[in-house]
Amino acid sequence: MATGLTVLLAIMVLKKQHPKSIVVAVPVSSMEAAEKIRREADELVALDVPPDFCSVSEHYEEFAQLEDEDVIRLLRAAEKRE
pLDDT tens for 8-19 read: 999 999 999 999
Nearest to 29 by CA among 49, 6, 9: 49
pLDDT confidence bin for 79, thresholds 50/70/90:
confident
Mean pLDDT within 51-61: 90
pLDDT of residue 63: 84
Q: In the predicted model, what is the mean pLDDT of residues 39-49?
A: 97
DSSP three-state, residue 1: coil
Query: Does residue 25 contact residue 45 with C-beta atoms inside 8 Å?
Result: yes
Mean pLDDT of 27-54: 96
Q: How far is the C-alpha of 7 from the C-alpha of 15, rounded, in Å? A: 12
- Cα first-last separation, the chain: 28
Query: Domains of the chain (ranges plus CATH)?
Result: 5-81 (3.40.50.2020)
Q: Are 27 and 53 in contact (CB under 8 A)?
A: no
